[in-house]
Chain A
Amino acid sequence: MAIKRREFLKIAGLSVAAGLGGFSAFTGLRSGILEASQYVRDPKELKASRWGLVIDMSKLNQEDIRRIMDVCHKKHNVPAIPNPKDEIKWIWPESFEHSFPGQESPYMGDAIKHQPYLVLCNHCDNPPCVRVCPTKATFKRADGIVMMDMHRCIGCRFCMAACPYGARSFNWRDPRPFIKEMNPEFPTRMKGVVEKCTFCYELLAVGKPPACVEHSNGGIVFGDLKDPNSEIRKIIATKFTIRRKPDLGTLPSVFYVVSDKENKGGHEHVG
């Protein structure tokens, strides 16, 4: 890849400033390529002003939910830690009454009350986790994705106290021994940092949809919430959707189409 001298100097300068100068200069000169790929965006990259998801629970059965969870966790090297105290999860099912506390009623049938909903980070437009982070280790990107910088996180867990959705997990111990099959394409984490769903930023960057969307058989739709012509906006405009705890003003980017069916995939309940 041709690189202008000016750009080379800029990248070199930045690398030195980041304290990585020695390393990147060495590897760069030796192999004849600079690590410039991270500065050149993939032309296929998917872009939006504000990414959002619509999760249509009427289209997802138990099997879909299980598959989506597995794919996401496998792809992102999320460890399977048996002790619930130390558990790490990015996307998982919670029953209606637990996903939308305060929305249930005593007369609601058990099937509806216990119906599983997929929950994950809401990538809020007004994220409390970003507001409280003392190091900007969690931050909001221009496209609305609430990101984590695992290398900057000091593990204070202020973000976990601030998140009203319980979307964040902390590495109470070294997660690596609990990763059954390592995905070399995605970094693993170390103990002592917080992690969560990152909207598959790494897939969007190469023009692919988030893993949960891809494996949902059409049950999850993603798109640009700021684009009135996007598919996601059309769904939200025409179907009745709800968001988790909208009264808190966090402006979640994840919308749910409430299922009007009783547990499509049988009556296996989620606590």
Chain B
Amino acid sequence: MSDSVSYKQITMDGLWDNNVIFAQMLALCPLLAVTGTATNGLGMGLATVAVLVASGLSVSLLRNFITPQVRIPSFVLIIACLVTIVDMAMNAWVHDLYKVLGLFIPLIVTNCAILGRAESFAFKQSPFAAAYDGLMMGIGFTFALTLLGAFREVLGSGTLFANASLLLGDTFSFMEIIIIPEYKGFLLLILPPGGFLMLGFLLAGKRIIDKKIASLREAKLSSAEEAVA
């Protein structure tokens, strides 16, 4: 069955076509909570990638034992277990990052995208494909989170990737940019309603791009048909 899965398709789905945020509209709770800054978005995204890959892999490995009747409790158990392990591991070994994100790590459990991928993809696919799908979905999610965080941070507080060195180490301190010096801040965008607003704009942006792509494709197709005729 795994042969029928095209990895190119998985990649495109995860990153754009079926992006967790921009297309599936899942996981809005962690999205609105953490994207006050681009750094927080990035960190939350990376932690989610770890959980998505691990949960995809384990659900796929166990898919022959799990019966459809009890699949949901099994998935929830697996995901909750993984998140708790990630939480403890981060607290112990990347403590500085944990201090920034600690509050949000348990929130990953509430990320319905993970359950959704377990249910709709990993449960039916080979372990490798499932892990790969988790990776791509996670990267797509991270991209969306970071993008939204970046917009909110620049417009809301005038900086970009503030505290990035806490997340990635001192070598990445060059990422911390003050875009608008002496900026008074735009409080609404930092608060959750600003997240909603910004998300709305980004979704509209994605639809415009999708439409452009579709019309370009159509134009190409029709011109090709004309050439044949």
Does B bind A? no
